[in-house]
Structure 1
């Protein structure tokens, strides 16, 4: 405690000396010299540590650095530096720098906030103005500009163009379209008048345009909409004949493989039990002539999954003209004019009878399909056979058969050359013949009605997945065409004329 008091006394004496130095400047040179001499004697005492008796300590330590000088006027000047190591000067400086930086950032953000506030006020005013304008338009208190009329003219021009495009697509009368076109012309005149006179009736014009657009849309839908075909119960012939066929549905490859490109397949027809499902597939051997094996399936799903009810072997059939009717397979016996009736359940030949006058030996087979001299067919009325004779110079001959005895009940001779058609089938007593247009399309181009004896040309296009059609069989049970094409089993739905 006493040491601290001594230190404080030293600091006080130094301060007194500085005060005396200032006062000596007024007292003259002598006083200054005396003060200087006194200062010279006092500084060592003040700047060196001493003990309690005023004596120098054994190891003096410098705690202050004092330097002095006398100016031209004789005044003593000195500087005293008292170090203070306990005060954190560097940290204070860092705090000052951080404070300055934060202040600058705060001012920048504050400026942005002020700018955003001004923009928000501007947007609020714009929204208010837009709200007022919308209310005025809704209440009809504002006039339309020149741009509104230009838009009207563009819309009317579009309507006129649509009507012009719609005219060629309509089949039959186009009176409705002509009436719409006349109304569009009247609208054009009316818009021109309103543009020069009254601009407050634009809403009425727009309503008329919307109405016309809706009517045009209905016309387009009616022009492009394909009506659903009328329904006729299977097994009936109350329609007016074949109208169209669907896109092909490829069921699968035949059960013997890709190399067996010739053959036939279809669904059995039971007039007394039309719900019964029995399918048959009869690929020829690879040379495209011999019919030796066929399989029977109890459902279409079983056919797709290769789950046959049974497989049968016969010796031998010829060509792809076989057909299944009432649980019996009818086919052309190899190398002869004989027709064969085969029971598929017992796998026995029931009957064999010659077809009188039939040309055989690949004499008048179908175009592109060999060994199909005798082609059996089934329709709603029963069993038929399609063939050719020398007496009819190779033209198609149609005979109605008694399925029990295979006797010929009636015969019709056509004027269509058999080798010029690719295949044929019967539907409700009408023969339909096909011909290839290219590798992707087949055309049903010829018909012969056995009920009237009339024949003629038609054009019904059949899309093909493969190049050649080896056989076509019609099933009255589901009204489908069963096509054997290059080894694949293909089906077509048929539609009839009302």
Structure 2
């Protein structure tokens, strides 16, 4: 009778079906006949509650672990690219050290010092990468050992440099002179940010060349780079970059700080959608918004970097016939200074002379206009500082000069002669940034910047 009861119980209660047969046969189930002759079964079950909450917890933990693994894998892929760049730089240094080993007498003290500086910078980069990865991989220890070995070789080779003692003394004297010049340039390092208590630009520093563009492509000669001229909170250190092989605008790259700009590690990329592509390269970032030129129709266009929303305003009098001398399509030029946002263009009515206009940021319209006396096609570029427009032109292959100024407060114009060096002959973007009082130039594919010195007397 017991086997029949087992079948009945299993059919009536599926939850009982998983109980081992031996438990049924070991006294956990008893059977008897009731008063009315019916069959009565007594079942004594062990703990049968299924741990559903524990299974659910394990599933959630599993999902979290999978997500964490994906995050770490993405980090590894990202840092693998950076590590390749570092390894290439290290290889270049290795070649240079090998050259020193083969002919140390042909090098002077300054070469050794520059090598040491580069080795220290490389060691710092590797340390930063190691901290970012939070890793103790043997690869990093190997890099540290190789860098230190190279440093020892450089130090040792320097002691053998006996034949160039007089050259070293001369170079050391030059270096001392440069240090004295650097001390005089302290005014550049600590500018009076945000103030216009001066009479205008007095001089421009020597160019500071950062590196080739983020595409590492010398063919990307048209573009621009720089910082937000009115940054929002949290983005004070942000840099932007955009470039192409022609005078067009298709995308922008944003970097959280200077280090990520150097490492070409953008935190965001804006690919301009069909119909919103730009032309010319006189764009800027102001108030977390990119202002650039759009040609269909010819208009001021802006892209809000937070909302990714686009907007445009047509300048009816602006003409496409007048561009700066270094490249075509430079018809609408945006600028920003301590007084706000500006735009410059030329028209048929102005006969090619630059018209300077103040932009109302809220309405995105023209607030006021001034007619200047400089022909746009004769200028290399133009920028604004403290309500004054400055125009530049070429002197020779390596020299540019600020030759014209127009003051919007007085309506007066001045002819100037403020020369400054170019890294290469042609450039497509030159803008002043009031947050650090620097000029940012995109010079034939390279990031170049200048400190601006104002006449405070």
CA positional deviation for 1:289: 2.5
* Alignment match, 2:211: 252
Secondary structure, aligned partner of 2:351: coil
Deviation, structure 1 residue 266? 1.1
Q: Is the 8 A contact 2:282 2:428 kept in 1?
A: no
- Give 1:438 deviation, angstroms: 0.8
How many corresponding residue pairs?
A: 272
Matched, 1:278 2:238: yes
Residue of structure 2 in register with 1:431 after alignment: 389
In structure 2, which of residues 322, 327, 332 is the aligned counterpart of residue 374 of structure 1?
A: 332
Q: Give the aligned partner of residue 238 of structure 1.
A: 197
Give the 5 Å matches for 1:115-194: none
Q: How far does residue 306 in structure 1 lie from its aligned partner after superposition? A: 0.6
- Cα distance between partner residues in 2 of 1:242 and 1:228: 16
Equivalent in the alignment of 2:291: 330
Q: TM-score normalized by structure 2? A: 0.57
Matches of 1:484 and 1:272, distance apart in 2: 24
Deviation (angstroms), 1:295: 0.2
Residue number in structure 2 paired with 1:319 = 280
Counterpart-to-counterpart distance in 1, 2:431 and 2:443: 12
Q: Contact 1:474–1:480 at 8 Å: present in 2 too?
A: yes
1:269 paired to 2:255: no
Any idea what the Cα deviations from partners look like across 1:328-353, whole Å, max 9, x if unmatched?
0001113422111101233331x211
SS in 2 for 1:295: strand
Give me the TM-score of the superposition, normalised by structure 1.
Answer: 0.52
CA distance in 2, matches of 1:438, 1:278: 34
- Gaps (5+ residues) in structure 1? 1-221
Q: What is the root-mean-square deviation in Å for CA atoms of aligned residues?
A: 2.2
1:65-104 → structure 2 map (5 Å cutoff): none
How far the C-alpha of 1:404 sits from its partner, in A, is 2.1
Using the alignment, how far apart are the partners of 2:396 and 2:296 within structure 1?
A: 32
Pair member with larger Rg: 1
* Aligned equivalent of 1:357, options 295, 317, 321: 317
Counterpart of 2:300 in structure 1 is 339
Distance in 2 (CA, whole Å) between partners of 1:476 and 1:434 is 19
CA drift at 1:405: 1.8
* 1:448 corresponds to 2:406: yes
How far apart, CA to CA, are the structure 2 residues paired with 1:379 and 1:429? 7
Work out the CA distance in 2 between the residues paired with 1:275 and 1:331: 20
In structure 1, the residue matched to 2:365 is 407
**Per-residue deviation, residues 7-46 of structure 1 (Å, max 9, x unmatched):** xxxxxxxxxxxxxxxxxxxxxxxxxxxxxxxxxxxxxxxx
Distance in 2 (alpha carbons) for counterparts of 1:373 and 1:476: 23
Unaligned runs of 5+ in 2: 1-179
The verdict on how the C-alpha distance between 1:467 and 1:226 changes in structure 2, with shifts beyond 3 A counting, is same
Cα distance in 2, alignment partners of residues 332 and 465 from structure 1: 26
Task: Give me the whole-angstrom Cα distance separating, in 1, the residues matched to 2:242 and 2:340.
Answer: 21
Measured in 2, the distance between the counterparts of 1:302 and 1:245 equals 27
